[in-house]
Amino acid sequence: MIEVKNITKSFDGRAVLKDISATFEDGKTNLIIGRSGSGKTVMIKNIIGLMKPDIGQILYDGRDLITMNKHELNMLRREMGMLFQGSALFDSMTVMENVMFPLDMFSKDSTKERRKRAEFCLERVNLSEAGHLYPSEISGGMMKRAAIARAISLNPKYLFCDEPNSGLDPKTSLLIDDLIHDITVEYNMTTVINTHDMNSVMNIGDNIIFIKEGVKEWQGTKEQVITSNNRALNDFIFASDLFRKVKEVEMQEEEG
């Protein structure tokens, strides 16, 4: 579990995150949603310690990241897997070498064991056949899956994904969402995902934190999204045509 307590972050006197508190639970896909520029990436960067909030606490199963020294932070980082906008694979390495990379860097296991682990991760994302290929030789969806395999190679407790579906078609996006959700449940990870994709919200929104202009406006589940009366949330989701229709039907059923 990750607990964010009252974090505020400003740039040049302009507050981008305003007194945000939120809880991210184990074995769940925790989504941070909001318009472009609302502060999602800044939020995730603060959570993983790439940026330091001006005020607030960030607790990883009770351990406060803010007060950690460099060594403690490095140790905590090994419990994190990350998947950032774009897949950020190393172009000069094969898929297999990409997945091996964190293992070679941080694992004390033998070469044989590291290779076995990498093969296991590739198999988990259905890429066993593509290990010898270079990123330029595979599709965008495959790159995402390779990046997921790399992110889980060290068996992380916490997984962070910033817009994992950017650049993918809707069907491939669903597959990636499902994969992230499945491994989250399977390994009981605390997964935090930034998205503004309503399909993802309704597909894997176990726990949703909605941010508007740096303020946490609402928190709930995908089921609660449908019946929420929060105006800002409704404005955000009504921007999605398909979703407006779903919600209208739901409301009619409630009234009728």
Ligand X SMILES: Nc1ncnc2c1ncn2[C@@H]1O[C@H](COP(=O)(O)OP(=O)(O)OP(=O)(O)O)[C@@H](O)[C@H]1O
Could you tell me the smallest distance in angstroms from the CB atom of residue 147 to ligand X? 17
Could you tell me the smallest distance in angstroms from the CB atom of residue 232 to ligand X? 14
Q: Judged by CB under 6 A, does residue 16 bind ligand X? A: yes
CB of 39 or CB of 156, closer to ligand X: 39
Residue selected from 41, 153, 184, 200 as contacting Mg ion according to rule CB under 5 A: 41
- What is the dihedral sign for C-alpha 173, 179, 181, 184? negative
Looking at residues 30 to 49 of the shown chain, list those that interact with ligand X (rule: CB under 6 A): 34, 36-42
Q: b/e for 16-48, b at 16 or more Cβ within 10 A?
A: bbbebebebebebbbbbbbbeebbbbbbbbbbb
Number of residues that bind ligand X (CB under 6 A): 11
CB of 127 or CB of 177, closer to Mg ion: 177
**Degrees to nearest 5, angle at CA 146 with 142 and 150:** 170
Q: What is the Cα Rg of the chain in Å?
A: 19
Question: Concatenated DSSP letters for 106-140?
Answer: H--S-HHHHHHHHHHHHHHTT-GGGTTS-GGGS-H
Residue 118 touches which of ligand X, Mg ion, none (Cβ within 5-8 Å per kind): none
- Per-residue binding letters, 60-79, with ligand X (x by CB under 6 A): --------------------
Residues binding Mg ion (CB under 5 A)? 40-41
Residues binding ligand X (CB under 6 A)? 11, 16, 34, 36-42, 196
